Amino acid sequence: MKKILIVEDDQAVKKLLETAFREYGFNFVLSENKKNAMMMFLTHNPDLLIVDLGLPDGDGKDLIKEVRDISKIPIIVVTARHDEKEIVASLDKGADDYITKPFSVNELLARVRANLRRNIDGEKLKETITCGELELNLPSRNISLKGEILKLTPIEYELLKYFLLNTNKTLTHKQILKEVWGAGYQNEMQYLRTYVNTLRKKIEQNSTRPNYIKTESGIGYRFCCGFLEEK
C-alpha cells in the first residue's frame, strides 16, 4: 500500500484530502507544519509528498528543497492561488506537479496516480516507453507514431525523448531548456517555443488543439499520455 505524507495546515483542505485518500485506499500521514513534516518524512518513508506552500512555520518551498536533496519521491505542491512565480519556483526546487485550490478530489487523485506511476516506471530501466500512440525505443533512438517512425532532427528527438521520460509532469521552460539544450540556454524561450511548434505538427492530430504537449500558461509544458489528465 502506497503511503502519502500530507503537509497542510488548512483544515478544510486537510479534511478533503483525508476523506479522499481514505476512500481510495491510500495510507497517509499528516503534518500541519514544516518542522514536523521533515521528521515524519524521515520516520515514515512515504511514496509521495503533498505540500502546501504556505505553512505556519515557514515556506513549503524550503521543505521541497530539503526533501529533494535526499529523495526522489514525487512531490505535489498545493497552492492557494494560481501564482505562476510560486509554482515555477516550486518546480525548479524539485517539485513534480502542482494543484491549485480549490481543486476536485478527482483531479487530485489523477495527479497522485500519475505521479506514483511515473515513479514506479522510472525505477525500471526500460528499452521502450509508450505514451498514447507514441513509442520511444531508446537503444535505436527511434520514436514512432502509430507504428511509423517519425523523422526528427537531433534536437526534436532530444526534446520529445525528454517529454516521454517525464510524462504527466509539469516541466518549467527553464528545466526543459537546461535538460535538452544544456546549461546556459535556460532563458532561450524562443528556441523552446519553436521546437514545440514543430513537434506538435509532427505528433498532434490538430497542432492548435494539442493532446500531447499541453501548454501550462506562464509556467511551461506538460506532456500527457492517453488524455487521462483532462481537467
What residues make contact with Ca ion under the rule CB under 5 A? 9-10, 52, 54
Q: 160-179 b/e with 16+ CB inside 10 Å = b? A: bbebbbbbbbbbbbbbbbeb
Smallest distance from the beta carbon of 48 to Ca ion, in angstroms?
A: 19
Residue number of the CB closest to Ca ion reads 54
**Residue 32 vs 135, nearer CB to Ca ion:** 32
**Residue 52 vs 135, nearer CB to Ca ion:** 52
- Bridge partners, 49 (sequence order): 5, 75
Q: How would DSSP label each residue in 86-151? A: HHHHHHHTT--EEEESS--HHHHHHHHHHHHHHHHHHHS--SEEEETTEEEETTTTEEEETTEE--
CB contact set of 209 (below 8 Å; sequence gap of 6+) = none
Smallest distance from the beta carbon of 40 to Ca ion, in angstroms?
A: 17
**Residue 49 vs 176, nearer CB to Ca ion:** 49
Smallest distance from the beta carbon of 76 to Ca ion, in angstroms?
A: 15
Smallest distance from the beta carbon of 66 to Ca ion, in angstroms?
A: 18
**Residue 14 vs 44, nearer CB to Ca ion:** 14
Smallest distance from the beta carbon of 223 to Ca ion, in angstroms?
A: 30
**Helices (H), ranges, the chain:** 11-23, 34-44, 60-70, 84-92, 105-123, 154-165, 173-180, 189-203
Asked if residue 32 lies in contact with residue 9, where contact means CB atoms within 8 angstroms, the answer is yes
**Residue 85 vs 124, nearer CB to Ca ion:** 85
